[in-house]
Amino acid sequence: MARTTASLRALLAKLIDYAGLYPPAGLPLASAVENYRAYLASGESWMLNRLVLPAAKLGEAGMAADWRITLLMGHEPERLPAQVETFETKMPRRFSLPTYCEAPLDAIPRGAFAKVRTGGLTPDMIPPTPQLADFLCEAARRRVPFKATAGLHHPLRSLRPLTDAADAPHAVLHGFVNVFTAAAFAWHGARKEIVIDTLNDVDPSAFDFRDDELRWRGRSLSTAELRAARRDFAHSFGACSFEEPIRDLRELGLL
């Protein structure tokens, strides 16, 4: 097992919002919450962020005191347990808790966060690299923090099936190491061309994680810069699997 370097830990800490209820996994609530409970007790819990739940399922989840929840909702709930930390909505509206809005950047109200789709169940749902780079650069320029959702099952950009079905369509998917490294570059003022090239990179050896910095093709981000970008800008991504990203990171020798 590889030693986790400080720069890799800075990039990946609390990165994955577990969304097992949603496609392509589509697990029953009982299975999803049991998985979340197990992941919190695992050696990789440092990469786990919140459990994604729809507001209608909150009362059925049987939450423990140490759980952290992000709630998908369309209106302000009346009463909430302390475990609910953030909201997610398709409306350009800020609610009483930190709110991620799946809406155009120029429609997001002051103080709210953005939510960007990075994939889906069909190839047309995957944003082209220039479009995703535009979002990262513009959100960084506006200083609007974001989370990503859908499609980021693997660390690096790669050709993959979109579901587990035998006849599933294949497409080139964005990688979460690519996306969050590119976001860190954008946050610290890199040109759009650098952001695009980072998103497009398929070579694992190009990402050299050291204790004091991440080196990528002659450029670097210090561990402190990665921490700042994650804290202030690139918050997390939602994934229906926690185990698949972990497995891939191990296969790359990063964990």
Please state, in angstroms and as integers, the Cα–Cα distance from residue 136 to each residue in 175, 206, 244, following that order.
14, 21, 25
pLDDT tens digits along 186-242: 999 999 999 999 999 999 999 999 999 999 999 999 999 999 999 999 999 999 999
Q: Is the pLDDT of residue 126 over 70?
A: yes
By three-state DSSP, how is residue 116 classified? strand
What would the mean pLDDT of 32-43 be, rounded to a whole number?
97
Instruction: Answer for the pair 73, 88: CB distance below 8 angstroms, yes or no.
Output: yes
Question: Is residue 117, in this structure, part of any structural domain at all?
Answer: yes
In a domain, 41, yes or no: yes
Q: What is the CATH number of the domain that holds 22?
A: 3.20.20
Q: For residue 188, is it within any domain?
A: yes
**Structural domain harbouring 92:** 6-251
pLDDT computed for residue 199 by the predictor: 98
Beta strands in the chain (DSSP E): 16-18, 48-54, 69-72, 84-89, 99-101, 113-117, 146-149, 158-161, 170-173, 207-209, 213-216, 219-222, 234-239
Q: Answer yes or no: is 115 within a domain.
A: yes
Cα 151 from chain centroid (whole Å):
9
Task: Convert the pLDDT of each residue in 89-117 to its tens digit.
Answer: 999 999 999 999 999 999 999 999 999 99
Tokens of 127: 């944003």
pLDDT in tens, 173-189: 999 999 999 999 999 99
Flag whether 1 is in a domain.
no
Lowest mean pLDDT among 9-13, 120-124, 152-156, 233-237: 120-124
**Mean per-residue pLDDT, 8-37:** 96
If we measure between CA atoms, which residue out of 100, 98, 101 comes closest to residue 84? 98
Give counts: helices (H), strands (E), the chain. Answer: 7, 13
In a domain, 12, yes or no: yes
What band does 163 get if pLDDT is binned at 50, 70 and 90? Answer: confident
In this predicted model, which residue has the larger pLDDT, 196 or 3? 196
Mean pLDDT, range 144-152, rounded to an integer = 96
Average pLDDT, the chain: 95
Question: pLDDT at residue 1 above 80?
Answer: no
Q: Cα(249)–Cα(15) distance, rounded to whole angstroms?
A: 13
Q: What pLDDT is recorded for position 164?
A: 79
Residue 30 has pLDDT above 70, yes or no: yes
Query: What gap in Å lies between CA 248 and CA 240, rounded to an integer?
Result: 15
> For the chain, how many structural domains are there in total?
1
Q: Is 79 exposed, middle or buried (CB count within 10 Å of its CB: 0-12, 13-18, 19+)?
A: exposed
Report the candidate in 165, 163, 166, 195 with the shortest Cα–Cα distance to residue 181.
Answer: 195
Instruction: Give the pLDDT score at 2.
Output: 67
Burial class of residue 108, CB neighbours in 10 A (0-12, 13-18, 19+): buried
| Cα 33 from Cα 58, distance rounded (Å) | 11
* Residue 76: predicted pLDDT: 87
Q: Report the pLDDT averaged over residues 40-55.
A: 97
Q: Phi/psi class of residue 26: alpha, beta or left (left: φ > 0; alpha: ψ in -120 to 50)?
A: left
